[in-house]
Amino acid sequence: MNPEPWLFTYEDFAPEREGLREALCTLGNGYFATRGAAPESHADGTHYPGTYLAGGYNRLTTDLSGQVVENEDLVNMPNWLPLTFRLEGEDWFDLRAVTPLEYRQVLDLARGLLLRTVRFVDARGRRTRLEQRRFVHMRDKHLAGQEMVLVPENWSGQVRVRSALDGRVINAGVPRYQRLQGRHLRTLVAEEVDAQTLLLEVETVQSRLTVAEAARTRLFVEGAPAEHSRELLKEEGYVAHEFTVSLTEGQRLAVEKVVTLYSSRDHAVSEAAMEARHAARTAPERFEDLVSTHAQAWTHLWRRADLTLELAEPNGTHRVLRLHIFHLLQTVSPHSIDQDVGVPARGWHGEAYRGHIFWDELFIFPFLNLRLPALTRAILRYRHRRLPQARQAAREAGHPGAMFPWQSGSNGREESQSLHLNPRSGRWVADVTSLQRHINAAIAYNIWQYYQATADSEFLYFHGAEMLLELSRFWASMAQWNPALKRYEIKGVMGPDEYHTGYPDRAEPGLDNNTYTNLMAVWVLCKGLKVLRLLPAERLQELRETLRLEDSELAHWDEVSRRMRLVFHADGMLSQFEGYEQLQEFDWEGYRARYKDIHRLDRILEAEGDTPNRYKLSKQADVLMLFYLLSAEELRELLERLGYRMEPEMIGRTVEYYLQRTSHGSTLSGVVHAWVLARRDRAASWRLFSEVLHSDISDVQGGTTQEGIHLGAMAGSVDLIQRAYTGIEVRGGMLHFNPYLPEELRRLRFSLRYHKHLVDVDITPDTLRLTGLWSDQEPALDVCVRGKCLRLPPHETRTIPLGP
Ligand code: BGC
């Protein structure tokens, strides 16, 4: 196996890119994640060590010149990384104070390890080799570990080693949030447990979430326990062990730090600190044993999640796709199944968007549905548990049913901020993005897609149908009858394009008849009606009784789903919203010339005292989301149901029109556009796909990745390969293929899960080979390749020629 597509290697230390690398080298296991900060570092403008517990939120209020704002943040938990050293007569190790002879940092995707090697010479001419390894254990979610190896190359003498747990951290990872309160933790316990073990227990000040970390540090010289002296250091929120050990030239000192992390929200625990202490004491003896069980867990995950590519020209594509899968699985993993967590837009990798959950799962679930559907199910349950809050929110807005928040955190209330800072102008601006009610279509869509991919009728029975019905109810109520037009309308909302928040001449924010919202509302109502036919009679009756769902209400849903208004331009093109056609064209050329980077036109225009609301421009795909989510056939059926017609050639014109007017201010934008171009213009699609691939590794949004990865774009890029170019669709109880590989792709292999079947898929430009990998217990699988159906029995292979 060529190791290269599994390794990310950095050959230098570049302070200006360290924040980005820390985000990209984050290690996590779905339960907690720790940024790839150097173990000797602290938050100093270059480094930002951060450890985040999945779903570990806390709320704080800040007085912003008289306006009190409350924010719920993903809390930066105590830093377990500190493990460093000083050579006799020198200060504590600082890369900037020595002369590096060799520097290498490697993220090993196959084994989930972060490695760093530094050879350096200090002011006294002593040459030392330093090797570090780190993991966040993928099998035992409470474990993490670090190893530090020191070899004196040309000297003998004393080394002092410090291993600490640091709870003095605050949330300061996002410069834009710096004026907001960031002190979330209070220390409960900081103590020495025994000669090797430290304990730190903290509590979040508002949510009262207790987190305990224990660290066991052991020293070995030439593989045998080392003679050393020990000292304990304690400060408020901080506890450390310092060990002094003597080394002779060429001897190998290995320091092994095993850390355990528990919280008061865990299952099967008595009390967090007690568990952390106990787990640290009983963890396997040696670091190497932990590495091997950890790496094995990753091997098992990769078997389910990997894809192999052969490219016409080998380049970094394969590696980046794996990096994206890697970060997805570190954010949501089999450990998520037993937790109450959603999938955060920026991973548990940083503090951007405060760890909140948006609609981005729409771009993430399609990959999981066909690989690890149990994860989708777990994350959908995060929504279901918050159904009472969503019902309450709908009621407060004057609607029946359920209205989920645009940004969700701990308990499912709306967590969108009320003000945000435009770093360009320095002004705090009202944030009305929570008007993106379309999240309530995304959740319905996700439930439906999960069901299509898995046929999990139990999920539908207990959770899915209830949510779909409550969402249908909400959308039917959002639609208001316009007697003059004899159509239903949805007013005062925002579409996915966050640059349009309202009309320039209207005080109230929000737009009318956003096409994406209106049509997806119709889609939800159709599925709401359909799910009634899928439920067994007794459950249907139960739900209709509990929700008081009368025939008249269902008839109303049907009526709305046939008479929703869509707004078209004069030439018959779908308009982004009512009034869009009358907006001014934007001076793209002029702005490109004036500003190097025009991704964030909202900030640029606000700083100029202008607003995007006046122009035909968008941050990201809006109308085109429809072509991303719905097949051409489905879209045609929906339009017909509404009594509208769209000539097939109009799709191409619509794509062209909106693509030209999009600044791609969200990394999600490239995913959607690459998708809608996949069959229309393969070269353009591949170009956009390549841009999505670079979103995070090259930090195309200019400084945002260091605050957290963009998980939607990461998963979306993998899904472009998995579904867009293979034409895989799950609908109507059938698995469909319609491959159309870009020229750059010579071959693609992966195995997918569909209902109870596991299928090996092997695609070249000329053939599609499908192999049934499931057991004889399950029947053959009917699949459709370019509209022709065939039967695939278990353990057999079918090779289907793919003509041009
Ligand atoms: C995008 C949203 C997205 C959010 C979180 C915003 O920039 O406009 O569509 O949900 O980021 O990723």
Residue for token pair 């002029």: 590
Q: Write down the catalytic residue from 72, 498, 578, 691.
A: 498
| Tokens matching residue 282 | 């009983």
- Does this model's pTM top 0.85? My answer is yes
| Tokens matching residue 662 | 């999009």
Contact 354, 415 (CB under 8 A): yes
Q: Please give the distance of CA 751 from its chain centroid, rounded to a whole number.
A: 22
Neighbours of 551 (CB within 10 A): 8
Cross-strand partners of 571: none
CA distances for 797 relative to 219, 771, 785, angstroms: 54, 4, 14
452 appears as a binding residue in the annotation: no
Q: Please give the distance of CA 711 from its chain centroid, rounded to a whole number.
A: 3
Q: How many CA atoms lie within 13 A of 444 on its CB side?
A: 30
Ligand 1 centroid to residue 778 C-alpha, Å: 41
| Domains recognised in the chain with CATH numbers | 7-305 (2.70.98.40), 357-580 (1.50.10.10), 745-801 (2.60.420.10)
Percent of the chain past pLDDT 90, that is, above it, reads: 95
699 appears as a binding residue in the annotation: no
Q: Tell me what the mean pLDDT of segment 172-189 comes to.
A: 95
Looking at residue 719, its amino acid is: D
- Residues 103/27/713/761 CA torsion (nearest 10 deg): 100
282-293 pLDDT, tens digit each:
999 999 999 999
Rg (CA), the chain: 28
**Three-class SS state of 237:** coil
Q: Tell me what the mean pLDDT of segment 763-792 comes to.
A: 95
359 appears as a binding residue in the annotation: yes
In the predicted structure, residue 455 carries a pLDDT above the cut 50: yes
Q: Tell me what the mean pLDDT of segment 691-716 comes to.
A: 94
Q: Is 668 in the pocket of ligand 1 (CB under 6 A)?
A: yes
368-398 pLDDT, tens digit each:
999 999 999 999 999 999 999 999 999 999 9
The mean of the pLDDT values for the chain is 96
| Tokens matching residue 320 | 């980046």
Q: Is 498 in the pocket of ligand 1 (CB under 6 A)?
A: yes
Start-to-end CA distance of the chain, whole Å, equals 32
In the predicted structure, residue 336 carries a pLDDT above the cut 70: yes
In the predicted structure, residue 100 carries a pLDDT above the cut 70: yes
Contacts of 139 (CB under 8 A, 6+ apart): 293, 294, 296, 297
pLDDT for the residue numbered 3: 55
| CA 617/CA 499 separation, integer angstroms | 8
Q: Note the helical H segments in 535-647.
A: 537-547, 551-563, 588-594, 601-607, 625-629, 632-641
Instruction: DSSP for 632-673, please give it.
Output: HHHHHHHHHHTT----HHHHHHHHHHHHTTB---STHHHHHH
**Three-class SS state of 81:** coil
CA distances for 531 relative to 355, 401, 475, 549, angstroms: 32, 16, 16, 13
User: Which of 666, 673, 701 is the pocket-test mutation for ligand 1 (most atoms within 8 Å of CB)?
Assistant: 666
Contact 180, 252 (CB under 8 A): no
Contact 116, 104 (CB under 8 A): yes
Model confidence at 2, in pLDDT bands (50, 70, 90)? low
600-617 pLDDT, tens digit each:
999 999 999 999 999 999
CA torsion sign for 409, 411, 416, 417 is negative
Model confidence at 1, in pLDDT bands (50, 70, 90)? very low
Closest CA to 742 of 717, 760, 724, 769: 724
The full length of the chain comes to 804
Residue 553 known to be catalytic: no
Q: Note the helical H segments in 156-227.
A: none
Contact 127, 95 (CB under 8 A): no
Q: Is 361 in the pocket of ligand 1 (CB under 6 A)?
A: no
Strands 197-204 and 734-737: unpaired
What is the position in ligand 1's atom list of the atom closest to the CA of 710? 12
Q: Is 140 in the pocket of ligand 1 (CB under 6 A)?
A: no
pLDDT for the residue numbered 405: 98
